[in-house]
Amino acid sequence: MSAPAPAVHATPAGADAAQRPAAALEVRGLTVHYGHIEAVRGIDMALEPGGITALVGANGAGKSTTLLALSGLLPKVSGSVIFEGEDITRLAPHQIVARGIVQVPEGRAILTTMTVRENLELGAYRRGNSGTPKDFDYVFALFPRLKERLDGVAGNLSGGEQQMLAIARALMAKPRLLLLDEPSMGLAPIVVQEIFRALRSINADGLTLFLVEQNVRQALKIAQRGYVLENGSMALSGSGKELLNHPRVLQAYLGV
């Protein structure tokens, strides 16, 4: 593996620290290994409460590894994770979910032999019920197609609808922080637009989002803050807008 590149900050670190609210999630020096492979190396991130933060990077950069470690599904070799002031570094996955950190995994991972309704009910499980009518109404307003397909088997949904279901299922858990792993993957551009519109709307309703994407342009467009991961190291950070105009991002990810 290549040596980690030094992180380049599009804005001087701490320049606006005085105005910046305390982070919803603060990651310091996170390192994650697969055996002897160092997949994520000492990365730092701060997610603003109520904001959209994007983590972008190429295939194999370490994005999913980062998310899995944040959810407690992969062990952290070193570093710390603070959520709303609490150190959650060593908590088990179910304890992390109980804090309100819910992940929409890569590849959706919906239960294809179950109905749309059953998938949604399972989403509410962590709250000890199968979802209130209000919860269902909220996700139907976001994704009307799920209402139309409610009693159909989830495996019969299109790829876009399955992604909608995966997001809706996570919302049924009433998260405080939603982690999304490549929600645009494999979807037609028009469906990607639909998903991103829904993400904006969810965020406008107050939910903090952490969006992992290979679709660098779309992700940085909706994110207030972005991070660029390269070979397991943080290469760049800045506002979404700054990164969209950064020469390295333009050249390496946007083909400009």
Ligand X SMILES: Nc1ncnc2c1ncn2[C@@H]1O[C@H](COP(=O)(O)OP(=O)(O)OP(=O)(O)O)[C@@H](O)[C@H]1O
Residues that bind ligand X (CB under 6 A): 34, 37, 39, 57, 59-65, 106, 214
Taking the complex as a whole, the smallest distance from the CB of residue 223 to ligand X amounts, in Å, to 16
Give the footprint of Mg ion on residues 104-123 (CB under 5 A). 106
Taking CB under 5 A as the criterion, the residue among 53, 64, 231, 237 binding Mg ion is 64
Taking the complex as a whole, the smallest distance from the CB of residue 200 to ligand X amounts, in Å, to 22
Smallest CA-to-CA distance from 167 within 190, 186, 194, 189 is with: 194
Residue 39: name its binding partner from ligand X, Mg ion, none (Cβ under 5 to 8 Å by kind). ligand X
Nearest residue relative to Mg ion (C-beta): 64
Residue 208: name its binding partner from ligand X, Mg ion, none (Cβ under 5 to 8 Å by kind). none
184 contributes a contact to Mg ion by CB under 5 A: no
Taking the complex as a whole, the smallest distance from the CB of residue 83 to Mg ion amounts, in Å, to 22
Taking the complex as a whole, the smallest distance from the CB of residue 238 to ligand X amounts, in Å, to 19
**CA diameter of the chain:** 52
What letter does residue 255 receive in the DSSP assignment? -
Q: CA-to-CA distance for 195 and 129, rounded, in angstroms?
A: 27
Burial of 191 (C-beta count, 10 Å sphere; 0-12/13-18/19+): middle
Residue 123: name its binding partner from Mg ion, ligand X, none (Cβ under 5 to 8 Å by kind). none
- Whether the CB-CB separation of 38 and 69 falls below 8 Å is answered with no
Q: Got the DSSP string for 165-190? A: HHHHHHHHT--SEEEEE-TTTT--HH
Of the pair 115, 214, the CB lying nearest ligand X is at 214
Give the 3-state secondary structure of residue 217. helix
